[in-house]
Homo-oligomer: A and B are copies of this chain.
Amino acid sequence: MPVYQATVSAPVNIACIKYWGKRDTKLILPTNSSLSVTLDQDHLRSTTTSRADPSFEKDRLWLNGKEEVIAHGGRMATCISELKRLRREVEENNAAEPKLSAFAVHISSLNNFPTAAGLASSASGFAALVASLAALYQLPASPSTLSLIARQGSGSACRSLFGGYVAWQEGTAPDGSDSLAVEVAPREHWPSLHALICVVSDDKKGTSSTSGMQRTVETSPLLQHRIKHVVPERMRIISDAIRARDFDTFARVTMQDSNQFHAVALDTDPPIFYMNDVSRTIIAIITEYNRVSVAAGGKLKAAYTYDAGPNAVIYAPEENLKEIVELIVNYFPQPAPFKDPFGLFGSAGVGEGKLVEGFNAAVAKKFPVGSVKNLIHTRVGDGPRKLDDAEALLGPDGQPKSLA
Contact = CB atoms under 8 A, between A and B. Distances in A.
Interface of A: 203-205, 221-222, 225-226, 229-230, 252, 255-256, 259-260, 262-264, 266-271, 273, 276-277, 280, 283-284, 287, 362, 364-365
Contacts of A205: 362
A71 B221 CA distance: 42
B269 A259 contact: yes
A266 B267 CA distance: 10
Contacts of A263: 222, 263-264, 266-267
A259 B266 contact: yes
A262 B222 CA distance: 12
A-B CB proximity, top 7 nearest: A225-B225, A263-B263, A263-B267, A263-B266, A270-B287, A259-B271, A277-B277
Contact of A267 (B203, B252, B260, B268): B260
A365 B277 CA distance: 15
A15 B287 CA distance: 30
Copies of this protein in the assembly total: 2
A276 B278 CA distance: 10
Contact of A277 (B266, B271, B276): B276
Contact of A230 (B221, B270, B273, B364): B221
B269 A280 contact: no
A221 B259 CA distance: 11
A313 to B, nearest CB: 16
| Residue among A226, A256, A365 with most chain B CB within 10 A | A256
A80 B130 CA distance: 73
Contact of A266 (B252, B266, B287): B266
Contacts of A269: 252, 255-256, 259
B260 A364 contact: no
A170 B280 CA distance: 33
A271 B290 CA distance: 13
A338 to B, nearest CB: 25
A248 to B, nearest CB: 13
Given A255-B269, A269-B255, A260 B221 contact: yes
26 contacts: A204-B364, A221-B226, A221-B230, A221-B260, A222-B222, A222-B225, A222-B226, A222-B230, A222-B260, A222-B264, A255-B270, A256-B269, A259-B266, A259-B267, A259-B269, A259-B271, A260-B267, A262-B266, A263-B263, A263-B264, A263-B266, A263-B267, A270-B283, A271-B283, A276-B277, A277-B277
Nearest to A219: B256
Nearest to A362: B205
A220 B214 CA distance: 23
